[in-house]
Amino acid sequence: MAKRKKIASGELALIARLRAMAGALPAGRVRLGIGDDCAILRAPAGHELLVTTDFSLEGRHFRRAWHSPQSVGHRTLARGLSDISSMGGQPLAAFLSLALPRAVAQDIRWMDGFLAGLLTLAAQNKVPLAGGDTSEAPGTEVLADIMLIGSAPAGRALTRSGARAGDIIYCTGALGGAAAELAALSKTPTRFRHAQSSDEHPHLFPQPRLAVGQALLRRKLASACIDISDGLSTDLQHLCEASGVAAELDAALLPAHPLTAALAPAAQMAAILHGGEDYELLFTAPAKTKIPRSLAGVPITRIGRIVPRKKSRARMSIVAEDTRFELQPRGWEHLR
């Protein structure tokens, strides 16, 4: 096998910057971080480990012409944190693998912006960056892979497979905001160049719902949970398949993100049902379980119910003005 080609001059400088910037994060359960062959983590007693990896690929998940480096860094980590949140887990450490075109590796401003975006979100969620890898990209696009290690009390992590007929379906926050912001971005790519991380930018700076997932686990509220990364319709389909059930949504109950108001009605409904990357949580709970109106400051909305799976009926349906429609999983295909 050919020896991997590394970024000759830029790489050591890049790793030094990364190490210096990551060094400001609290170590948490990382006993040994960046700088050795492996990181060493102290697993919490009585817990199981959660592991997830997610690609962030230029041209697929972001464009350098549209997304600021801060946004790219933030979104790279947010994808992994959201997966930990959907299991009710506590993130222990993040690992970042980056393949950079030479021009980007030498662009200190881009690199610093990317790392600042990633490490600001890491600091907010007390997640150490404990290692990773860098390499020269074979093409002209930035390729990032984030790996998150988390933990949950043994046997108690939330999964997609626990929903039962009769359960109520809930979601956190509001839906369609990321798709609506992306639509605005595609019209005026430079519009949000200087946007800062906040709830007002659901596409550029999504906020993973770690505290909500942890509250659902701790208070034993949810029977199943998934994060809405691909869109409500597609992720609800995943949950239904894993649980062997079917679902009915009530269109009037779906919480529309304020940014969707700028869209035409059909596009607004499409953003809410199919728009990806909201990174809200979709969960189910038995009808008798009392679910608070908000958890960790995030509103919780009842949006439908789980029903028995019948071969003769569609897996998912949505009721709007007393009419039932079949709901197809049409999750957003990112930039395609």
Among 55-63, 82-90, 217-225, 303-311, which window interacts with Mg ion (CB under 5 A)?
Answer: 82-90
Among 150-158, 183-191, 229-237, 314-322, which window interacts with Mg ion (CB under 5 A)?
Answer: 229-237
Exposed (0-12), middle (13-18) or buried (19+): which is 37, by Cβ within 10 Å? exposed
Let me know: does 277 contact 206? Beta carbons within 8 Å. Answer: yes
Among 76-84, 147-155, 196-204, 239-247, which window interacts with Mg ion (CB under 5 A)?
Answer: 76-84
Of 120 and 159, CB closest to Mg ion:
159
Rg of the chain, C-alpha, whole Å: 20
Q: Indicate whether 280 belongs to the interface with Mg ion (CB under 5 A).
A: no
Q: Indicate whether 227 belongs to the interface with Mg ion (CB under 5 A).
A: yes
User: What is the Cα–Cα distance from 90 to 126, expressed in whole angstroms?
Assistant: 10
Backbone region of residue 254 per phi and psi (left: phi > 0; alpha: psi in -120 to 50; beta: other values): beta
Q: Indicate whether 83 belongs to the interface with Mg ion (CB under 5 A).
A: yes
Exposed (0-12), middle (13-18) or buried (19+): which is 38, by Cβ within 10 Å? exposed
Of 159 and 317, CB closest to Mg ion:
159
Q: Indicate whether 278 belongs to the interface with Mg ion (CB under 5 A).
A: no
Q: Name residue 94's beta-bridge partners.
A: 129, 148
Q: Indicate whether 230 belongs to the interface with Mg ion (CB under 5 A).
A: no
Query: Furthest-apart CA pair in the chain: how many Å?
Result: 65
Of 33 and 235, CB closest to Mg ion:
235
User: What is the Cα–Cα distance from 136 to 96, expressed in whole angstroms?
Assistant: 14
C-beta of 25: minimal distance to Mg ion in Å?
Answer: 24
Among 42-50, 83-91, 137-145, 205-213, which window interacts with Mg ion (CB under 5 A)?
Answer: 83-91
**Residues found near Mg ion in the complex (CB under 5 A):** 83, 227, 229
